[in-house]
């Protein structure tokens, strides 16, 4: 190449610039390496994108484990030490936990045993009212509604007429073993009274049905606390009243609010 | 030695012309790395990538979409300690048998449930959400102060298999603890998966949230974000 000095100053067209300054192309191995590097650089990005949008059956990776995984058991944790796999041990048979110690006939059982003076037999006498621990109040009724809607409404329906979602589905599926739940607001055709009303079905008996179940109805004692079961009793009474209420039951000054 | 070699052939080593690329190339690579590395580390090691989306296969093909969604069973029917205790208990087999002693009594999908009921051996559900052991978390206070399940667990009523959808990282906890009004709802709506402040309470979230924050006596951000609230 001859010296620049001999030439007239060239006009720097892009093409000439490229030729003069940007040099010949890269040797092809280098090009290939660059292309591979660029492609490899995309791999982590794709993997990350995939990890962020997809589900995995692998548990999470804890980067810094310091004390994140502690050699202790939490509630309901599994344990290889015991044959039944539970870390939480079941109490020895016959143990009475403080909260299950039930000294109060009315509150804890809803009935008492009385001796028939004539025959000398013990028989069950259900209480006909709420225990003193549970006062009938706005709060109790509200609590009763919450608990009823959680535990009972699935079968008995929100209005206690016995047509909850599970009943509808089981009827649809024609489940052979399904027994329809009772309509708790039913009027007994013989007596003209509520079949499960306070006269025929005392509060204590209703409480007992919830606690231990009856025939095909499961027990709800294990799931619902004692006071809450009494609140449900109160709320079922309210539903029974409401389902058979007439205009006369509404105080006259409130009737304008009816829609 | 090298020197001797050069002088003996009397030729200097000449870089090929493409070597001029090296310096600008290196600078460019550095500039790219300055962006690339933080992006990969930041996005790749974030809980959204490492923890979110964990969906183990459970021993029984139990579906929340069916039970909680279609059948509308309230969360507390099964997770009945959620508003009383730190731990939201998984239901014992007895709870399943409340219904399944009468429904689908010979479904093969429920074989393990029946077996567990007969033998008393618990079903070994696989844990989905799992905070590090040094964090104290308490369901009862959140549920009783009006934080809905959906805020922290997503639309469980649409999941056939439960998956973790929120990062459950410290930043995520703090985002709410600094300003819980963004998420508060009335206490009786916590298990409602479709609650909407405008449609159901007629107010926008912030107005309602601030009202509830006062009503439920939620402490200020200083307490809510102090380390000993969660690391105790």
A122-126 vs A111-115, strand pairing mode = antiparallel
- The residue among B72, B132, B159, B162 with the most chain A CBs within 10 A of its CB, best to mutate, is B132
Nearest to B84 by CA among B92, B72, B76: B76
- Tell me: pLDDT of B1 over 50: no
Would B17 be classed as within a structural domain?
A: no
Greatest alpha-carbon span in chain A: 141
Length of chain A: 259
Would B98 be classed as within a structural domain?
A: no
Interatomic CA distance for residues B88 and B140, integer angstroms: 8
**ipTM of the prediction:** 0.76
Question: In this predicted structure, what is the pLDDT of residue A54?
Answer: 85
Would B21 be classed as within a structural domain?
A: no
Residue pLDDT, tens place only, A154-179? 888 888 888 888 888 888 888 788 88
Would B97 be classed as within a structural domain?
A: no
Chain A residues inside the 8 Å CB shell of B107: none
Q: How many CB pairs under 8 A join A and B?
A: 128
Q: How many domains does chain B have?
A: 1
Containing domain of residue B170, as a range? 84-89+129-230
Would B101 be classed as within a structural domain?
A: no
Looking at per-residue confidence, does A212 or A4 come out higher?
A212
Among candidates A52, A59, A223 on the partner chain, residue whose Cβ is nearest the Cβ of B49: A52
pLDDT mean across residues, chain A: 80
Would B214 be classed as within a structural domain?
A: yes
Question: In this predicted structure, what is the pLDDT of residue A33?
Answer: 87
Residue pLDDT, tens place only, A34-89? 889 889 989 989 998 988 888 888 888 777 777 888 888 888 888 888 888 888 88
| pLDDT band, residue A23 (cuts 50/70/90) | low
- B47: nearest CA in chain A? A60
Chain B residues inside the 8 Å CB shell of A146: 188
Would B158 be classed as within a structural domain?
A: yes
Q: What number is the average pLDDT over the span B96-120? A: 87
Would B114 be classed as within a structural domain?
A: no
* Subunit contact B73:A165, Cβ cutoff 8 A: yes
Q: Please tell me whether the overall predicted TM-score, pTM, comes out greater than 0.95 for this model.
A: no
Question: In this predicted structure, what is the pLDDT of residue A24?
Answer: 59
* Subunit contact A68:B50, Cβ cutoff 8 A: no
A28 at B interface, C-beta within 8 A: no
CA distance B133 to chain A (A): 5
């Amino acid at each position: 190449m001859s010296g620049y000095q001999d030439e007239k100053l060239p006009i720097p067209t892009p093409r000439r610039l490229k030729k003069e300054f940007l040099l010949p192309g890269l040797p092809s191995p280098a090009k290939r390496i660059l292309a591979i590097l660029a492609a490899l650089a995309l791999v982590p990005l794709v993997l990350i994108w995939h990890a962020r949008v997809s589900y995995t059956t692998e548990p999470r990776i804890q980067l810094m484990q310091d004390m994140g995984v502690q050699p202790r058991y939490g509630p309901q944790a599994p344990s290889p030490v015991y044959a039944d796999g539970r870390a939480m041990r079941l109490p020895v048979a016959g143990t009475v936990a403080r909260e299950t110690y039930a000294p109060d006939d009315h509150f804890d059982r809803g009935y008492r045993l009385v001796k028939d003076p004539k025959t000398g037999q013990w028989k069950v006498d259900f209480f006909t009212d709420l225990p003193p621990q549970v006062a009938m109040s706005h709060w109790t009724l509200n609590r009763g509604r919450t608990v009823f809607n959680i535990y009972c409404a699935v079968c008995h329906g929100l209005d206690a007429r016995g047509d909850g979602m599970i009943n509808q589905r089981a009827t649809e599926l024609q489940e052979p073993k399904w027994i329809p739940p009772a309509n708790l607001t039913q009027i007994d055709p013989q007596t003209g009274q509520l079949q499960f009303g306070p006269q025929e079905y005392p509060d204590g008996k209703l409480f007992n049905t919830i606690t231990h179940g009856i025939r095909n109805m499961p027990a709800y004692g294990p799931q619902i606390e004692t006071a809450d079961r009494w609140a449900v009793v109160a709320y079922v009474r309210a539903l029974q009243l409401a389902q058979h209420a007439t205009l006369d039951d509404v105080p006259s000054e409130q009737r304008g609010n009816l829609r | 030695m090298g020197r001797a070699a050069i002088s003996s052939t009397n030729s200097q080593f000449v870089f090929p012309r493409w070597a001029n690329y090296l310096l600008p190339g290196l600078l460019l690579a550095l500039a790219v790395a300055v962006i690339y590395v933080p992006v990969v580390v930041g996005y790749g090691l974030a809980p959204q990538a490492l923890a979110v989306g964990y969906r183990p296969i459970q021993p029984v093909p139990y579906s929340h979409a069916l039970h909680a969604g279609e059948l509308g069973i309230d969360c507390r029917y099964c997770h009945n300690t959620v508003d009383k205790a730190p731990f939201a208990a998984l239901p014992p087999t007895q709870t399943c048998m409340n219904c399944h002693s009468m429904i689908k009594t010979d479904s093969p999908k429920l074989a393990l449930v029946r077996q567990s009921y007969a033998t008393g051996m618990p079903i070994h559900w696989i844990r989905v959400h799992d905070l590090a052991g040094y964090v104290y978390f308490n369901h009862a206070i959140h549920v009783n102060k009006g934080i809905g399940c959906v805020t922290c667990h997503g639309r469980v009523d649409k999941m056939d298999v439960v998956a973790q959808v929120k990062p459950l990282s410290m930043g995520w906890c703090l985002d709410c603890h600094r300003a819980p009004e963004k998420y508060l709802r009335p206490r009786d709506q916590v298990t409602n998966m479709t609650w909407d402040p405008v449609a159901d309470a007629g107010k926008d979230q912030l107005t309602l949230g601030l009202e509830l924050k006062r009503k439920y006596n939620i402490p200020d951000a200083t307490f809510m974000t102090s380390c000993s609230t969660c690391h105790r």
